[in-house]
Amino acid sequence: MNRYSLYINTEELKKARNKKQKTYEGMAQEMGFKSPISYYNIEVGNVEPKISQMIKISQILNKPIGKIFNLKLQENWIKRRRYMQELIKIEVNKNQEPIVNGRELHKALGVETRYDTWFNRMKEYGFIKDVDYVEFTEEVDAQKRARTYEQANHAIKLDMAKEIAMIQRNEKGKKVRQYFIQVEKDFNSPEKIMARALKIAESKLNVLQLENTQQKQLIGELKPKADYLDKILQSKALVTITAIAKDYGMSAKAFNKKLHELKVQFKQGHQWFLYSNYHNCGYTHSETVEYTHSDGRKDVTMNTKWTQKGRLFLYDLLKKNNIVPVIEKEVV
């Protein structure tokens, strides 16, 4: 007879499916079922799904496994577990392995030797650090002093704890070892294995969902940059400094001044010129333009525009100096 039953929150499952606008047919198809009735039987609680199917449903509906599926222990087994836990507390590490607190084990065994001395002697039996046990320090309240202090402790795996209990060769050691054997049987029971599998699966799903959210955010942040760069790369035309300055929400005068501060160009008379290290890079294109004064005199001036290569150069340079186009500021 099973000591547990799998509880399916049918209302929550139905609500999650409707929120995603999924039909029985659609769910069955994504689950790889041949018939919609196979999924329907899971949703209404007629059939207990496999762990892999629980994970798949959770992924499709973007819902934590624990919100939909849960294990319920029978009352008599719950009472038995409470009795078992009275002897010494059992926890699990990040790998879902049962562990025992070293100092609590020392106390349960009734060892009179100081903990540090006793544990060092136990290590001589061939136990390996970071394999059989993990060292850590903990802060405790001093009994006769106002301040706290740190002491060494150990997280001991169950196999090592059983051996230590056997080594003591006394009634307390025998009782503790029998307790650990019973804990191990409980830990390796089908319902516990399933519960741990669900917990691990949910943890992995949470990581995947977080990575997916982070990826979406990153794409959202990079899209304006991509849009602006696409705009540059798709254009072959020459661009005035006024047009580029507008992309950055600046006037041509302020933009020219900024490029001067960044040692890109200098002003001579009414004309801006690139410094010599940028002369032959293909960043600008200048042409002579003839114009007529109001008194009828003819004259010429040089009109300089930026190439798309030069525009990309400005983008990279300004980006390094924390100056970005308006289109990118909108998502910051």
pLDDT tens digits, residue range 58-98?
A: 889 888 877 887 755 444 444 445 444 567 888 888 877 88
Q: Do residues 251 and 176 both lie within one domain?
A: no
| First vs last C-alpha separation in the chain | 59
Report residue 327 as tokens.
């289109």
SS3 of 262, please? coil
Question: Which of 62-66, 147-151, 222-226, 246-250 has the lowest average pLDDT?
Answer: 222-226
Of 40, 55, 72, which residue is a domain's last?
A: 72
201 located within any domain: no
Dihedral sign for Cα atoms in the order 61, 66, 71, 75? negative
126 located within any domain: yes
Give the residue, 55 or 259, on which the prediction is more confident: 259
Give the residue, 326 or 131, on which the prediction is more confident: 131
Average pLDDT over residues 159-178: 91
On whether the CB atoms of residues 108 and 172 are closer than 8 A, the answer is yes
d(CA 316, CA 325): 11
Task: Tell me what pLDDT residue 21 has.
Answer: 92
Task: Tell me what pLDDT residue 77 has.
Answer: 42
Helix (H) or strand (E) holding 213: helix 190-234
Q: Do residues 19 and 122 both lie within one domain?
A: no
Phi/psi at 28 (nearest 5 deg)?
Answer: -60, -40
206 located within any domain: no
218 located within any domain: no
Question: Which of 1-10, 13-22, 157-166 has the lowest average pLDDT?
Answer: 1-10
Task: Tell me what pLDDT residue 35 has.
Answer: 87
Q: Do residues 48 and 93 both lie within one domain?
A: no
Provide the pairing of β-strand 90-92 with 298-306.
unpaired
Task: Tell me what pLDDT residue 78 has.
Answer: 41
Task: Tell me what pLDDT residue 165 has.
Answer: 93
Task: Tell me what pLDDT residue 117 has.
Answer: 94
Average pLDDT over residues 316-325: 91
| pLDDT > 70: percent of the chain | 74
Q: If we measure between CA atoms, which residue out of 40, 5, 43, 6 comes closest to residue 25?
A: 40
Q: Which domain holds residue 175?
A: 75-188
Average pLDDT over residues 9-37: 90
On whether the CB atoms of residues 4 and 78 are closer than 8 A, the answer is no
Q: If we measure between CA atoms, which residue out of 79, 78, 71 comes closest to residue 196?
A: 71
Q: Do residues 283 and 301 both lie within one domain?
A: yes
Number of domains in the chain: 3
On whether the CB atoms of residues 254 and 267 are closer than 8 A, the answer is no
Of 72, 94, 115, which residue is a domain's last?
A: 72
Task: Tell me what pLDDT residue 132 has.
Answer: 94
Torsion angle of the four alpha carbons 325, 330, 331, 332, in this order, in degrees rounded to the nearest 10: 80
Helix (H) or strand (E) holding 268: strand 265-268
pLDDT band at 311 (very low <50, low <70, confident <90, very high): confident
